Structure 1
Amino acid sequence: MRIFTTILDTVAQRLMSEPARHDPAALSRIRRAMIDLMPNDAGWEDERLRHRLLVAVDPKSLWFLRVDLHQRLCRSMGEEAALDSVQSLWPLFEDSIEPSLLGKRPGRRGGPRGDTPPAR
């Protein structure tokens, strides 16, 4: 049943994503950074997440997979360390997805809002 779900995830992601222009090098950098954060466990859930990262067709898809990556990392390293790891991906997304996803609104004064990483 799980293999069927994985296949359906892959097919649905390919069908639902609209063709958009993006930098393939940026996509590759983001994907590699996310996969590098994954623990080296060979469990089914880890392999499924790794597969989803590998078949993501654009940076926006990878942006939404950060939640799944964070949940996985929480189990292995704790919530605070997992959050720091996922937030370290932030700069890779800045030029690859819409500013609204990053919590930035054009024409607004002040700092970014929403899902922004804490200042260090």
Structure 2
Amino acid sequence: MKKHITVEAIKKYAAASKDKAAIHLDVDAARTAGFDRPVAHGMYIMGLAQSLYIEKHPTQWITAYNMKFQKPLFVDTVAIFNFECFGDSVEVTVTAETGDKIAAGTFLVKELQR
């Protein structure tokens, strides 16, 4: 599943989370920190992964999760979210459009009771 990580989405997340660290919002600050351009918040990426999974699996509930980040995800790029289901465990991989592996982790899920 592909998702464009827009400047506007990162600005909204920064405002909502109150994480306005300059490396997420300012090109010069990102460059000073050693990045080509601003980077997305890690928690934004993890929350987006959860939202995208639940959107496709509305009868499931995420009960636990973990994610390890390997590389930054640059703002104004496309992220690819891959979900592999193994019973109540879902392996999550996030890659950039360049093929760089950004993050990997696991969701534990259960079916919602009706």
- Normalised TM-score (structure 1): 0.27
Q: Indicate the structure with greater strand content.
A: 2
- Normalised TM-score (structure 2): 0.28
Q: Indicate the structure with greater helix content.
A: 1
